[in-house]
Structure 1
Amino acid sequence: MRLALTLLRRKMPHGNIFIGKDRIMPKIKEGHMKNVKNRLQQEEENMFYLRNPYLTLDQSWGHAKELGKHEKWLRNKYLEGQKCKPNVTIEERYKTLRTTDVWD
């Protein structure tokens, strides 16, 4: 009985089984390799577009001004400011307490 348990027992790593130098590594399957290849292809395509931009620096200079991006940004900031509650001072907060103050 003891011999069977010893022979059938699987060696487990010390500590957490998912981290450290003695961790149990998952088996790599073909689906994993396919995902890695797809991610590498996507990364290579992204690097290609970063190396070869659509517009040159001279062409891209001032394109935001042509599109009116700064004005849109200013308008959005103004609208966000309108949504905020107005500033309230401490005197305004405690004004209701002063109504019960009666001086003879």
Structure 2
Amino acid sequence: MQLSQVLMVWPKKMPRGNIWIGKQQMVRKVEPWHLKALNKDLEREKKNVHYCLNPYLTPEQERLGHEERNKNLPRIDQLAFKIRKAKIEATHFKEVRVEEGIAKLKHNVSWE
């Protein structure tokens, strides 16, 4: 953007193009809700920095707890395999009992 040209021309005539989204934009006025949102973001960042600098657990405590939690848990790929296997066994390879087959025959074929 050629700022000097815009500044020299602005009081006399409007800049070329769309003044809200174009290359030569007019600067929007700062409203109270803009400042409120900015202050809210700053407060959130301050809290996040405070949590990072003053953690609830020390890194050593966190490491020990993480090891203890992961002792009994299966690996992700093993868990995914078990879930897939259970789904396939429940849908495609489910057990079909003899009684069910006979019931279908009784429905379709008369024995007398």
- Which residue does 1:46 correspond to in 2? 48
- Which residue does 2:33 correspond to in 1? 31
Higher relative contact order at CA 8 Å, sep ≥6: structure 1 or structure 2? 2
What are the ranges of 5 or more consecutive residues in structure 1 without an aligned counterpart? 1-8, 85-104
- Which residue does 2:80 correspond to in 1? 77
Query: 2 CA distance for matches of 1:76 and 1:10?
Result: 69
Greater Rg over alpha carbons, structure: 2
Query: 2 CA distance for matches of 1:79 and 1:10?
Result: 72
Cα deviation for residue 71 of structure 1 reads 2.2
- Which residue does 2:60 correspond to in 1? 58
CA RMSD of aligned residues (A): 3.1
- Structure 1 residues 74 and 31, CA gap change in structure 2 (3 angstroms): same
* Consecutive aligned runs of 4 or more in structure 1 exceeding 6 Å deviation: none
Percent sequence identity is 26
Query: 2 CA distance for matches of 1:24 and 1:45?
Result: 35
Cα deviation for residue 49 of structure 1 reads 0.3
Cα deviation for residue 15 of structure 1 reads 4.4
Give 2:81's aligned amino acid. Y
Give 2:65's aligned amino acid. H
Q: Partner of 2:34: helix, strand, or coil?
A: helix
TM-score relative to the length of structure 2: 0.49
- Deviation digits for residues 62-84 of structure 1, max 9, x if unmatched? 32232238526345432465469
